[in-house]
Amino acid sequence: MSSYQLRFGLKQRFGPTASFAIFIVLASLDNAAASVLPPLYALIARALNASEASLGLVTSGYILLVAGSAAFWGYYGDRGQRKRLLLLGTLLWSGAMIGSGLATSFTQLVVFQAITAVGVGSISSIGFSVVNDYIPAGRRGVALSLWSLSQLLGSGVGALLAGTVGALNWRMPFFIIAAAGLLFALLYLFTREPQRGRRDPELSPLFARGQSYDYRIKFQDIWALLRHPSNRWLLWQSFFFSLAFGSTIWIPRWAIARVQAEGYGLETATIVGNIFVILFNAGALLAIPAGHLADKWQRRSERGRANMGALGTLGSIPFLVLLFFLPLRNVTIPTEGNVLAIAWGALLAIFTNGYVFLAFAVATAGVGLLAAATPAWSAIVADVNLPEHRGTMLGISRVFRSVGSAISVGLTGFVFAWLTAVYDSPDNYAVGLAIFQIVAIPAGLCYLGLRRHVAADMARVRQTLTQRANHRGVPHGRSAPR
């Protein structure tokens, strides 16, 4: 039991399953915190006497700070006690969300959002490391599919709170998410941090003797991590993936333009288009069975997860390109109704309108294939890195991903501005989104490069862990062998 639990008289009451569930919720909440601000740009700009463009810069800075802090948290989590650091990070972002809700000036909002970003970075890197120690190595695909799905759902919840509760009072979504974060920080006190490496089968003899795995990362290990071929391919894949899909911030605008093309006004089209986008993302639920399939594939071949990543990424491209060019004709929506009536009309359109149903089916296939690749990527990170390196490696990948996203978001503005002069709406959005799918091809091909090295890097990890498990005196603070 840790010192702070002894001090406050707390007992660890939650087992591995409940503890894992708490981590899953925390992973969703940090994404909810990140997605609250963009839907509220107009309201916050008016309240704080700022421009929407300046708030967009806040979001860009937020993304970069999360990535940089994830690398920081990941490194120190791999060196020390992860539970204490995760609790600190959760309290940090929850408190800063309260500050964001109380902000009375643009400067205050910037400061509190920056602090929020620093705290949120702890969940992605340290949380990833901890989750991999809760689950058996052979079930990583399923568990990490839940991890990635929770983040997607969290983003949806944050946007939904901003678009509903935030429409009445822009400060409330910040308070609600902060309260949820503080609640789960309290529950987190009763969880048991798993022993590092506890679920790696090669270390079973070590734990059977009652010993612990006491190797910790050192700074010079970072350069060794970057020299491993599998890690290099994983990082490049992360960069190209975000370069391709950073453009998806325009998908709601594409859907709105499709509905507007049927003669509806901007207000009605905004509601209907956003509901269509939410429904079209239902394919993300396929990540769970895909994670299970990837685990089975991995048991038959050490390249199984790399194969799933390549299949998911490359296979999604034709479906998504087709989706962008599909029309949404003959959509019947009660324009005189309230928001709920309009939303209900959009939902019914999936079952009553052949064009909408076709778009839904194509989107489900494309998003489902893409969702299958994400947990496979995460599981490979755990497979080819030592337990004391996994959080750091995930943190470094967030830096690569944020750079790709920043470039993509910047480029989309120029691309769509150019296309507007060439194509009428909504074709300009369809062509622009399809162009960015070209970049998804190298993202998928990175998995093919990864296939050449993943077996050897997994063998290196297993050999190292086996040697350490059979060593009777495991020293503290040792770094990985070169």
Q: Which of 4-18, 199-213, 234-248 has the highest mean pLDDT?
A: 234-248
Integer Cα distance of 447 and 426 in angstroms: 33
Tell me, yes or no, whether 141 and 20 share the same domain. Answer: yes
Q: Is 170 within a domain?
A: yes
Among residues 144, 164, 189, the one where a domain terminates is: 189
pLDDT band at 10 (very low <50, low <70, confident <90, very high): very low
pLDDT band at 440 (very low <50, low <70, confident <90, very high): very high
DSSP string for residues in 405-429:
HHHHHHHHHHHHHHHHTTS-TTHHH
Q: In this structure, which amino acid lies at residue 73?
A: W
Residue-wise pLDDT tens digits, 294-323: 888 888 888 989 999 999 999 999 999 999
Residue-wise pLDDT tens digits, 176-226: 999 998 998 888 788 777 788 888 888 888 888 888 888 888 988 889 899
Task: With CA atoms as reference, report the closest residue to 380 among 291, 260, 445.
Answer: 291
Residue 451 CB partners (closer than 8 Å, separation 6+): 303, 306, 307, 310
Residue 400 CB partners (closer than 8 Å, separation 6+): 235, 236, 238, 239, 242
Residue 367 is inside which H or E element, if any?
A: helix 354-383
Residues 385/231, Cβ–Cβ less than 8 Å: yes
Q: Is 255 within a domain?
A: yes
Q: Is 163 within a domain?
A: yes
Tell me, yes or no, whether 394 and 255 share the same domain. Answer: yes
Tell me, yes or no, whether 73 and 179 share the same domain. Answer: yes
Q: Which residue has the higher pLDDT, 232 or 37?
A: 232
Does residue 475 register a pLDDT over 60?
A: no
Q: Is 204 within a domain?
A: no
And the tokens for 223? 């350069």
Burial of 417 (0-12, 13-18, 19+ CB in 10 A): exposed
And the tokens for 242? 């975000």
Neighbours of 441 (CB within 10 A): 14
Tell me, yes or no, whether 145 and 61 share the same domain. Answer: yes
Tell me, yes or no, whether 184 and 231 share the same domain. Answer: no
Q: Which residue has the higher pLDDT, 8 or 292?
A: 292
DSSP string for residues in 19-43:
HHHHHHHHHHHHHHHHHSTGGGHHH
Tell me, yes or no, whether 163 and 234 share the same domain. Answer: no
Tell me, yes or no, whether 185 and 53 share the same domain. Answer: yes
Neighbours of 250 (CB within 10 A): 19
Helix axes 427-437, 229-245, angle to 10 degrees: 170
And the tokens for 410? 């910047």
Tell me, yes or no, whether 303 and 435 share the same domain. Answer: yes
pLDDT for 425 equals 79
Q: Is 475 within a domain?
A: no
> Nearest 5°: phi and psi at 168?
-90, -35
What average pLDDT does the structure give for the chain? 84
Q: Which string of b and e fits 297-318 if b means at least 16 CB within 10 Å? A: bbeeebbbbbbbbbbbbbbbbe
Tell me, yes or no, whether 283 and 367 share the same domain. Answer: yes
Tell me, yes or no, whether 253 and 385 share the same domain. Answer: yes
Q: In this structure, which amino acid lies at residue 154?
A: G
Tell me, yes or no, whether 167 and 271 share the same domain. Answer: no
57-66, 319-328, 384-393, range with the lowest pLDDT: 57-66
Among residues 139, 164, 189, the one where a domain terminates is: 189
**Farthest CA pair distance, the chain:** 76
User: In angstroms, what is the C-alpha Rg of the chain?
Assistant: 23
Q: Is 476 within a domain?
A: no
And the tokens for 170? 């822009």
For position 270, which CATH number holds? 1.20.1250.20
pLDDT for 14 equals 64
Q: Is 198 within a domain?
A: no
And the tokens for 106? 């643009």
Residues 148/23, Cβ–Cβ less than 8 Å: no
Q: Is 6 within a domain?
A: no
Residue 48 CB partners (closer than 8 Å, separation 6+): 103, 104, 105, 106, 109
Q: Provide the domain count of the chain.
A: 2
Gap between the terminal Cα atoms of the chain: 34
Burial of 345 (0-12, 13-18, 19+ CB in 10 A): buried
Does residue 90 register a pLDDT over 80?
A: yes
Integer Cα distance of 381 and 385 in angstroms: 6
Among residues 166, 189, 212, the one where a domain terminates is: 189
What is the percentage of the chain residues whose pLDDT exceeds 70? 93
pLDDT band at 272 (very low <50, low <70, confident <90, very high): confident
Integer Cα distance of 343 and 272 in angstroms: 6
**Please, which contacts does 419-427 make with residues 24 or more away whose CB atoms are closer than 8 Å?**
425/257, 425/260, 425/261, 426/254, 426/257, 426/258, 426/260, 426/261
Owning domain of residue 176: 13-189
Residue-wise pLDDT tens digits, 117-153: 999 888 888 888 888 888 777 778 788 888 878 887 8
Q: Which residue has the higher pLDDT, 396 or 481?
A: 396
Q: Which residue has the higher pLDDT, 408 or 241?
A: 241
The number of residues making up the chain comes to 482
Does residue 46 register a pLDDT over 90?
A: no
pLDDT for 168 equals 77
Integer Cα distance of 96 and 214 in angstroms: 34
Tell me, yes or no, whether 172 and 284 share the same domain. Answer: no
* Mean pLDDT of the region 4-24: 63
